[in-house]
Amino acid sequence: MYYPDFVHRSTEEQYRILYQAGVCLGTRYEGRRRLLLYQICGFYAEVVYHPYDQQLEGIRCFEDTELLEPYLEEIAIGDLLENRNP
């Protein structure tokens, strides 16, 4: 599926496609909202979810890797660097 095809679908259909075929890359929180990052077919989708009332707020799709930065801050690379082979 191509990016333009995905973004023109309903939010419910996008969510179903992400759940079935996407790869969840990370999770972060903004206040009470939970944001899940998915990769699918060369682009990214961020699912905004309210876990307390179990409501899907929306899905933001993007191809720009700069928008991945908030998720990169959550990755602890210290253990990876310590276990590197010389």
The pTM (predicted TM-score) of the whole model is 0.82
What was the pLDDT predicted at 78? 63
Query: How far is the C-alpha of 25 from the C-alpha of 36, rounded, in Å?
Result: 8
**Does residue 80 have a pLDDT over 60?**
no
Non-local (6+) Cβ contacts of 2 within 8 A are 41
Q: What is the pLDDT confidence band of residue 79, given thresholds at 50, 70 and 90? A: low
Q: What is the pLDDT confidence band of residue 2, given thresholds at 50, 70 and 90? A: very high
Query: How far is the C-alpha of 8 from the C-alpha of 58, rounded, in Å?
Result: 14
What is the average pLDDT score of the chain? 88
Calculate the alpha carbon distances from 22 to 28, 53, 60, 77, 79 in Å.
17, 24, 14, 24, 27
For residue range 9-51, what is the model confidence (pLDDT) as tens digits? Answer: 999 999 999 999 999 999 999 999 999 999 999 999 999 999 8
Instruction: Write out the two tokens for 65.
Output: 């890797």
